[in-house]
Amino acid sequence: MSEYFVTGATGAIGSSLVPILLDDSEPRLTLLLRAASAADLAARMEQLYAFWQIPSGDVARRARICALRGDVTHPDFGLAADDYQRLAAECTHIVHSAGNVRMNLPIADARRSSVVSAQQVIRLARACARLEKVEFVSTVGVGGRTQGTLPEEWLRTARSFHNTYEQAKAEAEDLVQAEVEKGLPLTVHRPSMVVGESGSGRIMHFQVFYHLCEFLSGRRTLGLAPGFGNARLDIVPADYVARVLAWSSTQTSTAGRVLHSCSGPALAIPLEILQERVRQAFVRGGRRVPPVIWLPTAVFTRILSAASVLLPAETRRAIRTLPVFLEYLATDQTFANRRTQELLAPAGHPLPAPDDYLDQVFRYYLTHTSSSAG
């Protein structure tokens, strides 16, 4: 029987992965969750069961999940010695999808989230007596400021980064690359910006893409908008990334490879088109959007900074993150995915186009947030 150890089950990708793994009648899952107490752990699991639509009466599926209270950045994940020893003795598959998706953390905090957690995962993998495979979730952002198309391979060249999130993720990749070269059966997965599930738009948390949508709507910027030029955004549904992870975990042939779960050069969306789609969706959802006033980026930033003193505190905090978005979006960069698609399509995992899921993503967001959200 397969025994999966999954980090990040409360995140966008991990929360989509668990029900996919449970669709197979065989695997048992051990989930690592941060919680203040045993009662808090139980409450968090009930929230997850609700999201996964696993009712209390579904005893069989719930019995295949064991939740442990710990932290991926702590030695031995902060687990009791007997729990850690059980993991090492029984675990056959590790899926490491935990991470703090914030672009403006101090570098020490970003490294703790990405590099220290990678060290702990590697340590467990080396201790596992029955280990078959490790799936390691990284990001296409490890390319940093690299111009052009990011290749589907390990990166060995020096580069600079837009933010500490990219830098720390790149350092974590360097760490696991060294372990792969020593024989660790590990696959690196680089998703692009993750959005809700392709069929329903569901997502556990509204993260980076949704904050960007609020900016694109004009609701946070008084209608002011910078010129986007030819900038494009690469997005991918959470369930697609999760299906790639689940499939790859059963394939020894993917060990040592880098897989890109992203829309790629052909399907990345021009920001001007995305902005129009966002605004149309917001209007359909009953949200008021101001008229757009186009400005040069430098002028836009100065005016918005000056005007932010008149805005509510929550909006001011959001505006302070805008330069991070603008710098990220200003890079002329795409992400190769041809090799990954050639591998996945025959396995029954075709890449969905954004036109196939964006309306569902917008609808779910708008029906699960208040009109004052953002």
> Domains in the chain and their CATH numbers?
3-197+235-266+334-352 (3.40.50.720)
Dihedral-angle region of residue 314 (phi above 0 means left; psi in -120 to 50 means alpha; beta otherwise): alpha
pLDDT at 373 over 60: no
Q: Which residues contact 77 (CB under 8 A, 6 or more apart)?
A: 32, 68, 70, 71, 84, 120, 124
Sign of CA dihedral 72, 62, 131, 346: negative
**CA dist list (Å): 252 to 88, 185, 201, 345:** 20, 7, 31, 17
Strand order in 133-137's β-sheet? 65-69, 28-33, 3-7, 93-96, 133-137, 186-191, 258-261
**pLDDT digits 0-9 by tens, 275-303:** 999 999 999 999 999 999 988 877 877 77
Considering only residues 169 and 294, tell me which one the structure prediction assigns the higher pLDDT: 169
What's the predicted TM-score (pTM) here? 0.93
pLDDT at 78 over 70: yes
The per-residue pLDDT for 374 is 47
**Average pLDDT value for residue range 296-320:** 71
3-state secondary structure 49-89: HHHHCCCCCCHHHHCCEEEEECCCCCHHHHCCHHHHHHHHH
Dist CA 351 CA 340 (whole Å): 10
**pLDDT digits 0-9 by tens, 323-358:** 666 776 767 789 999 999 999 989 999 999 999 999
Nearest Cα neighbor of 65 from 47, 45, 51 is 45
